[in-house]
Chains A and B, each alone.
Chain A
Amino acid sequence: MKEEQLAEELICLEDMAKIYDTGALKVLGLKRVNLTIRRGEFVAIMGQSGSGKSTLMNILGCLDRPSLGHYYLDGVDVAGMSSDELSLIRNKKIGFVFQSFNLISRMSALKNVELPMTYARISRKAREERAEELLKRVGLGKRIHHQPNELSGGQRQRVAIARALANNPPLLLADEPTGNLDTAASLEIMELFTKLHAEGTTVVLVTHEEEIAAYTRRIIRFRDGEIISDQPNEPHRPGIAAQVEKNTDFMEGEG
């Protein structure tokens, strides 16, 4: 029963708190958060700036360590890990998608996508093949050799998503992924997340926009470092996306 539960749970925060020590005073970033996210979920974490959602994002992404409590990712407590161990976790288990895309500007789309695999010590040939395949999957098969500055915002974010998927991580973590995009491109990106979710990827999205959160299946709201609500959400979005969702609904069972 316990093991089954572990297998089900991708993220488990137990009494996790984050305290920032600024020298003069200690600021409580997060207060005793308890949260479980299962595999295959599509979750939005919402809140105003200062609500603690960025802190949570950093901890979930293993960029930062909790001050107190435990964080089990894929069954492993990462709370006490060294920074190199965390690097390894980020490399294998987490795919990041940032608001400002964060592509390396002097590298082609292909090279950017290859990067996480380079750090995973995957051979050049295998890397290139997989990067190309991923770029095709996000609809950029014809632009693999373009530099980031030759791509539109939406295209850049798709490269970033392809890069996040490179090592096939169990968790896709997106921080305001549409924050720098126009409406059309935002729609495009959210459709892509929906598709990835439908294919079984766990997606955790940090946003302050209701329209973006509306795409997800579960919305967790933060205020002053605490969860104030955690509710399932019935995704409502226009066009083809709804059909994709409908087609995959019965496969996943309850969402």
Chain B
Amino acid sequence: MLIENMKMAFSAIRINKMRSFLTMLGIIIGIGSVISIVSIGDTMRTMFADLYKEVGLTQAYISIGYWLDDVRQSDYFTLDDLERVKEVFGDEIAYIDSQSYVSADALYGRAKVKFDFQGIDYNYQDVQPVNIIYGRYLNEGDVKGRRKNVVMDVKSALQLFGVENAVGRTFRTTIYGSTDEYTVVGVYKKDLSPFQAMMMGQSDGGSAFIPYTLLTWPNDYFYAMRVYAKDDVNLDDFFGRLKVFIGRLKMRDAEDYYMATAVEEMGMMDSMMGGLSAAVGGIAAISLLVGGIGIMNIMLVSVTERTREIGIRKSLGARTKDIMIQFLTESALLSACGGMIGILLGSGLVSAVGAVLGVTAVVRPSVVLLAVGFSALVGIFFGMYPASKAAKKDPIEALRYE
């Protein structure tokens, strides 16, 4: 009986192909957008999670509160401050530096390339490993001795020197007003996905690591401090104690220091994405509602058109339930077909977006199932009224209908 109903419903849908398609359109668009929004949101979230993992989830950034009016130079950090923190929290800290960046033009012969210099400690490899392909990484001597040595990205080396292996070459650059010769001691390579590159703000220019001890500003101070906790450390507890310690160290209220942790940031990003998905999802739901009303409308037309058929079926012994199920099957099928086309459309869109972002975007099977189920439900819900109208028809009246 169910199979029979399905067959009948299919043939009814097939007879009015154009009309059926137009009716489905609302559902197609609704389901298509739900699928694509949810899946793109999913993909973005995974991408952000990966990105944060890449950047380091145990990371925190500390600086004097930007909201304060009475900031003094002594509120900034000195090398000694960093050393004190390292001493006190040595067991919990994986890495610490001053989170210093400087942009400056690197000059070599006639070549001039804008570089982003990142000040790092020698053990930065522990938390942000890169692949050294020529020469060596910065060492303790470079950092402690404030040597003007750099490790640069292979693409930048190619840009500036025209060779990949730039070890031993020197270039001139001006950092904080002082122009000096810098020597390349190593060349590294790092593969980033287009999305990561985009989010990490990789510029067209070069990028290189230099000892962070060279990037003190203002004067001999560092504006901020960046701490990577060890993986097994309780972050909330540790960062809390760290903040209190820094407050005491700098003779300030701990709350005068600003602290941002990667976990917090990721959570914010996550909830923002979630909110965005929910908002767009709501709009998609409205389009499903409109689609459902479209189905109800066309089913009402269909019921009227087929009044005589209903009369015939009743005269042959169809009960109220039989007619009801027949029309419900039809509207559910109509809606579910729309849902399936919508899924194809949405999946297509998702893979297109994935291709653009250079990631594999995945449509979760649970989302697909939910979408088909939901569209069928929309069909049943909005088919209910037309179907009951059909089922309640008086057989004599229906048979007389022309």
* A72-80, A90-98, A237-245: which lies at the interface: A90-98
Asked if A106 contacts B15 (CB within 8 A), the reply is: yes
Q: Which residue of A lies closest to B402 (CB)?
A: A100
B-binding segment of A7-15, A116-124, A132-140, A204-212: A116-124
0/1 string, B293-322, CB within 8 A of A gives 1: 000000000000000110111111111111
Q: How many residues of B contact A (CB 8 A)?
A: 23
Contact flag A61-B315 (CB < 8 Å), given A98-B399, A106-B11, A119-B322: yes
Are B317 and A102 in contact, with the CB atoms below 8 A? no
B15, closest chain A residue (CB): A106
Q: How long is the Cα–Cα vector from A103 to B313 in the complex, in angstroms? A: 10
With A98-B399, A106-B15, A118-B1 known as contacts, the answer to whether A87 contacts B319 (CB < 8 A) is yes
A174 within 8 A of B: no
Q: Does B4 contact A (CB under 8 A)?
A: yes
Taking a contact as CB atoms under 8 Å apart, the answer to whether A88 and B316 are in contact is no
CB of B269 closer than 8 Å to a CB of A: no
Partner among A58, A87, A167 whose Cβ is within 8 Å of the Cβ of B396? A58
Task: Tell me whether B395 is interfacial, beta carbon within 8 Å.
Answer: yes
B395 lies within 8 A of A118 (CB): no
Q: Is A64 an interface residue (CB 8 A)?
A: yes
CA gap between A114 and B312 in the complex, in Å: 13
User: In the docked arrangement, what's the CA distance between A118 and B6, Å?
Assistant: 13
Q: Report chain A residues within 8 Å CB of B1.
A: 118, 121
> Are A102 and B315 within 8 A (Cβ)?
yes
Question: Complex Cα distance A120/B317, Å?
Answer: 8
Tell me which residues across on chain B come within 8 A of A64, comparing CB atoms: 396
Question: A163: nearest residue on chain B (CB-CB)?
Answer: B316
Contacts of A98 in B (CB 8 A): 399
A107 to B396, CA, bound (A): 22
Interface of B is mostly: helix
Q: Which residue of chain B has its CB nearest to the CB of A102?
A: B312
Expressed in whole angstroms, the Cα–Cα distance for A240 and B396 within the complex equals 37
- Asked if A102 and B308 sit within 8 Å, CB to CB, the answer is yes
| Cα distance A96–B312 in the bound complex, in angstroms | 9
The residue in A63, A84, A163 that gathers the most chain B C-beta atoms within 10 A of its C-beta is A63
The contact of B317 among A58, A87, A106, A124, by CB within 8 Å, is: A87
Contacts of A63 in B (CB 8 A): 314-315, 395-396, 399
A:53-81 near B, CB below 8 Å: 58, 61, 63-64
Residues from chain A with Cβ under 8 Å of B313 in the complex: 104, 115, 119
What is the CB-to-nearest-CB distance from B16 to chain A, in angstroms, rounded to a whole number? 11
A96 & B315 in contact (Cβ 8 Å cutoff): yes
Q: Does A36 contact B (CB under 8 A)?
A: no
**Do B316 and A90 have beta carbons less than 8 Å apart?**
yes
A61 to B317, CA, bound (A): 11
Q: Which residues of B contact A91 (CB under 8 A)?
A: 316-317
- How far apart are B387's CB and chain A's nearest CB, in angstroms? 16
What residue of chain B has the Cβ atom nearest to residue A115's Cβ? B316
Q: Which residue of B lies closest to A160 (CB)?
A: B312
* Interface pair B316/A119, CB less than 8 Å apart: yes
**Residues from chain B with Cβ under 8 Å of A167 in the complex:** 317
Once A106-B15, A121-B1 are accepted as A-B contacts, the answer to whether A92 and B317 lie under 8 Å apart by CB is yes
Please report the C-alpha to C-alpha distance between residue A102 and residue B315 in the assembled complex, in whole angstroms. 10
How long is the Cα–Cα vector from A124 to B5 in the complex, in angstroms? 13
* Selected contact of B316 from candidates A58, A96, A124, CB within 8 Å: A96
Evaluate contact between A88 and B308: CB separation under 8 angstroms.
Answer: no
A90 lies within 8 A of B315 (CB): yes
Q: Report the bound CA distance from A163 to B312 in whole Å.
A: 11
Q: How far is the CA of A3 from the CA of B139 in the complex (A)?
A: 114
Identify 9 new A-B residue pairs, CB closer than 8 A, beyond the known A63-B396, A88-B319, A106-B12. Answer: A58-B396, A84-B319, A84-B321, A102-B399, A104-B313, A115-B316, A119-B313, A119-B319, A163-B316
8 contacts between A and B (CB under 8 A): A63-B314, A63-B315, A63-B395, A64-B396, A91-B317, A102-B311, A102-B312, A119-B313
Ranked nearest first, the 4 interchain pairs of A and B with the lowest CB-CB distance are: A91-B317, A119-B317, A87-B319, A116-B316
